[in-house]
Amino acid sequence: MRHSVLRTWSADSAFGGRCRRPDLRNFHRVPIKAISNIASPFTRQQGEQAVSFERVIDGLEIDSLASLGFHGPDDIRGLMASEGVRNAALVTVPIGSTLAVSLDGDGGQLSVLAPPDIPSNVKKAIEVVAGLIRETPNHQLLILAVLLLWARKYGSTAWREYCEGLLPPAREMSCLLCYTPGELSTLQLPHFVDEAARQHDWARWAHSQWLSSSSGALRRLGLADALEDSVWALAVVRSRAVEFQMGMAVGSGSGSGFKAGHDSGPEPVRLGRGRRLPTGPVVSVLAPVVDLANHNNDPNCVIQLTTDKSRIVLLPRRPIRPGEPLTVDYGFDRSSLELMADYGFVTSANPYDGEVELPEADKLPSLELSRLEAAARALRRRYHPAAMTPRRQGLSEAAAAAEKEEDGRSSGGGKGNGGGGEERDVADEALATEEEEHEGVAVEEEDEVVISETAADTGAGDGSDFTSRLRAAVALLSPRTAPFPGAPANSGNFSTPATQRIIAGLWHKLIRHCIESLPTSLEQDRALLEDIIGGRVLGFAAGPSLSLDPGAMQGPTSAFEHPPRPQPPVGGSTPPVSSKPGAAQLRMTSERKAVGAVQGETVLAAATAAAGARDGVSGSGKGDDSENEVQGTDTRRRAGSATTNSVAAPPKLTHQGSRGPQDDSSDVEAVTAASAVEPHAVVGSSGGNGSEARSRHGERTADVICRTGRRAGRLYAAVRARVEHKEVLAVAEQLLVQYARN
C-alpha cells in the first residue's frame, strides 16, 4: 500500500528540478578497507547495494545529494556529501515522508502530522493516548515511537525497509537505554547508571502501559511483542528525532543553546507544494536520511523546516566539498557527560567539557589506566608482534608491571597455540563476564576494557580497521598523541577524568561486541568468511542470507568454540523474543492490509468518547493550514531533551500526578476500546511479525551484521580473531585463492 506522496522526486524540487538519490558508493568503505586485497567482489557488491537503497528512497520521496559513509577516527556511519555544494539543500524530506507530531504549547495537546497514510481511527486512538499522558515528560517521544512501530509493521514498504535496513537494532545503538548492566558498570560513573535506570524505567512503563501487544492500551495494534521492540523504538526516537521550536526568528537563538536552524546559515528554503505543518510551539520529527547526520561541535550543516513548513531540509552552513562528512549540532552546548547521557557518545575537543564536574568524584574508584593498557597490549601483540620492542621502551613502570602480570596470567592460562593465548584470555574473560551479567553478578570494570597504548606504537598502514579503532581509542585516552594518523597531537581533549571514564566504557562495549561476534564453529567461520569474501556481508538486503544459527551446527569443531549466548535483557526483564522460523515477512504484508482496514466507526466513536472524557482531543490536522509567518525554526536533536534541557526522565509511576498512568485506569480502558480493531485484524496473535523477523536477521544473519560501522568493526575483529586459528586460516586461504581465480 502506497500513499499518495510516495513517488519519485520530480521536477518541482525547489532546487532546480534536481533528481538525486543517496548514493551508497561510500557505504561499504569499512569492509573494503578491512579486506582491501580482494576488491573486485566488493565493487560488484556496491552496485547491488546502491540499488537496494534506492528502493527505500523511492518510497519515501527524498531528494539527496548525500551518500552514506563512515567517517572520523571512530569510523562512525553517517552522511557525506556526494558532490560539492555551496547553498543548495543536501537532503530534502517532505513532511509526508516523515513521522511527525506537533505539540501545542499551552495545553501540550498533540496532533499526529505524519505519516499521512495512517488510518484516521488509529491516529485518533494515538492522539487520545497522547492526551492521557500529556503531563508525563517527553510524551511526544513516546508517541513518535508508536508511529515508528506502526510504520515498521503496517507502513509502506519503504518504511519497513528503512526500519529493517537502515535503522540500527537496539543492541547496536549506543545510547544508555541500550546498555546492558555490565556495560553500564564499565562506564564507572554512577551518574550514568542512574540515568540509564531512569531511561529503562521509562521504557518499561511505556511498554507495559501503552505499547505492549499484550498489556498496553494500544495492544490491539500489535506494535510491540517484547520490551525489546519498545526499547528499540524509544531509543531510535530519542537519538534521531529532531525537534523544531516554531515561531523563532532566524538568528535569534533561544537562549537554550540551540544551534541548528539559525545563525549564519542560508535562508530557509521556500517551497511551493506539499502538506503544511501547523504552526505550533514544538514539532518533533523523525526524518529518514536527515537522521543519519552525525554531531559535531562545529557542524557544516543545519537542519531546518522550510518556511512553508512542508519539508525538512539539511542545508550547508558553508561550502561543502564532495566526500565531506555532513554534520549538525545536536544542540544545547552539551558537555561530554550530557552527550553520553543522551546519545551514548563523546567527541574530542568538546568546548563544553571545561565545565564538566565529575559527580561525586571523591567516591569513584581510581581509573587504572595501566591495567587497561596492559589488556590492550595483550591484544595488540596478536596483531603486531614485531612492534613489541619499541613499545616497551615507552612503558611506564606501572604499566610494565601490569603487563607482566597480564603476561603471567595469559601463559598460565594453558591456552597454548603459539602465543595466541592473551587475546583469547581477553575474549574468555569478557565472555565469562557476559555470563555473569546474565546471572546478575556485578562485573569487574577495567579488566576487559581494551585500550592500546599510543598512536606511535600501533604501527601504521596495516589496513586493519580494528587496529585503527584501537589507535583511535589510544588517542582518546592519551591527548598528548594524535587522535588519528595525520591529525595534530593534542587536538583532542579527552583528558578530563569524566571523559576518560566514558571512553573506557565505550571501548569496553565495542570490544565486548567484537568478542560476541565470534562465530561458534569452524563451519560457521568458513561460511562467514565465504560471505565476507564474496561480498555478501556488506550491508543489508543484498545477496543470500547466511544462517549462523548454532542449532544448525553438528557440534563443537573448534577449540575456541563458545555456546551461543542469549541476548542480555535490556532493563533486566526482557521477555524472550521468539526466533522460530516462519514466513514473517510475508505475514507482515497481509497483516498490514488487515490493520489498514481498521473498522472505523467503532474505533472513532470510542476514541471520541475517550477524548471527550479528557476534555477533548483536537481533530486531526488542527491548524494544518496555519499561515503564521515563521521566519525560521530552531531544531535540536531530540534525545529526550525537552525545552527543560533535561534528559528524558522516565515517568515514575509512583510519582505521577492525577494524570499518572496508574490513576488512569478508566482512560486506559477507553483507549483500549479506541484502539480496538476487528478480531481478524488483531496481529498480536499471528506469531509472525516484524520483531521476529528482525530478531532472526539481527541475531543470525550475516548480511545484516555490518549495518553500522561499529558492527563492521566487530565483525572484522571477530574474523581476525578466528583467523588466528590455523584451521580457519587454512580455510581463509583456500577461499581467497578460489576467489582470486574467479
Ligand X SMILES: C[S@@+](CC[C@H](N)C(=O)[O-])C[C@H]1O[C@@H](n2cnc3c(N)ncnc32)[C@H](O)[C@@H]1O
Q: Which member of 102, 136, 140, 174 binds ligand X (CB under 6 A)?
A: 174
CA dihedral 308, 311, 315, 321 (to 10 degrees): -140
The whole-angstrom separation of Cα 37 and Cα 424 is 26
Selected from 23, 74, 164, 434, the binder of ligand X by CB under 6 A is 74
Nearer residue to ligand X within complex by CB, 502 or 611: 502
Alpha-carbon distance of 363 to 636, in angstroms, equals 34
Report the residue from 38, 41, 54, 76 that binds ligand X according to the rule CB under 6 A.
Answer: 76
Task: Please give the biggest Cα pair distance in the chain.
Answer: 78
Q: Which is nearer to ligand X, 128 or 476 (CB)?
A: 476
- Footprint (CB under 6 A) of ligand X, residues 200-239: 239
CB of 70 to ligand X, least distance (A): 9
Cα separation of 347 and 350, whole Å? 6
Relative to beta strand 632-637, strand 301-305 is unpaired
Piece of 167-175, 277-285, 455-463, 470-478 that binds ligand X (CB under 6 A)? 167-175
Choice between 49 and 109, CB closer to ligand X: 49
343 binds ligand X (CB under 6 A): yes
584, 686 Cβ separation under 8 angstroms: no
Report, in Å, the least distance between residue 235 CB and ligand X: 8
Member of 111, 284, 294, 307 binding ligand X (CB under 6 A) = 294
Where b means 16+ CB within 10 Å and e means fewer, 166-198 reads bbbbbbbbbbbbbbbbbbbbbbbbeebbebbbb
- Does the N-terminal peptide bond of residue 581 adopt cis geometry, omega within 30 degrees of 0? no
Is 292 a binder of ligand X (CB under 6 A)? Answer: yes
Candidates 72-80, 213-221, 272-280, 491-499; binding stretch for ligand X (CB under 6 A): 72-80
Least Å distance between CB 498 and ligand X? 16
Distance CA 520, CA 551 (A): 11
The correct pick among 31, 69, 78, 483 for binding ligand X (CB under 6 A) is 78
Q: Give 204 or 295: the residue with its C-beta nearer to ligand X.
A: 295
Using N-to-C axis directions, what is the helix angle for 227-240 and 190-206, rounded to 10°?
120
Among 53, 162, 192, 345, binds ligand X (CB under 6 A): 345
Least distance between ligand X and beta carbon 641 (Å): 12
CB of 166 vs ligand X, minimal distance in Å: 7
Quick one: cell of 379? 591484544
Cα–Cα dist 384/381, whole Å: 5
Q: What is the smallest separation between the CB atom of 642 and ligand X, expressed in angstroms?
A: 17
Amino acid at position 684, single letter: G
Cross-strand partners of 315? 302
Q: In angstroms, what is the minimal distance from the CB of 445 to ligand X?
A: 22
Pick the stretch among 55-63, 338-346, 443-451, 471-479 that binds ligand X (CB under 6 A).
338-346
Give the Cα separation of 473 and 469 in Å (integer): 6
Which region, judged by CB under 6 A, interacts with ligand X, from 70-78, 389-397, 621-629, 678-686?
Answer: 70-78
* Cβ partners under 8 Å of residue 125, min gap 6: 218, 221, 603, 607, 671, 674, 675
At a CB cut-off of 8 Å and minimum separation 6, what does 151 contact?
Answer: 99, 115, 159, 160, 163
In whole angstroms, the minimum distance from the beta carbon of 47 to ligand X comes to 22
The reply to whether 77 sits near ligand X by the rule CB under 6 A is: yes
* Closest CB 384 distance from ligand X, rounded Å: 26
295 binds ligand X (CB under 6 A): yes
Distance CA 218, CA 211 (A): 6
Are the C-beta atoms of residues 270 and 308 closer than 8 Å to each other?
yes
CB 297 within 8 A of CB 350: yes
How many residues bind to ligand X according to rule CB under 6 A? 18
Asked whether position 468 contacts ligand X by CB under 6 A, the answer is: no
| Site residues (CB under 6 A) for ligand X, limited to 689-728 | 708
Report, in Å, the least distance between residue 487 CB and ligand X: 15
The reply to whether 42 sits near ligand X by the rule CB under 6 A is no
Q: 3-class SS at 680?
A: helix
Q: How far is the CB of 239 from ligand X (least distance, A)?
A: 4
Q: Which is nearer to ligand X, 242 or 677 (CB)?
A: 242
474 burial via Cβ count (<10 Å: 0-12, 13-18, 19+)? buried
Please report, as ranges, the residues that interact with ligand X according to CB under 6 A: 74, 76-78, 168, 174-175, 239-240, 291-292, 294-295, 343-345, 347, 708
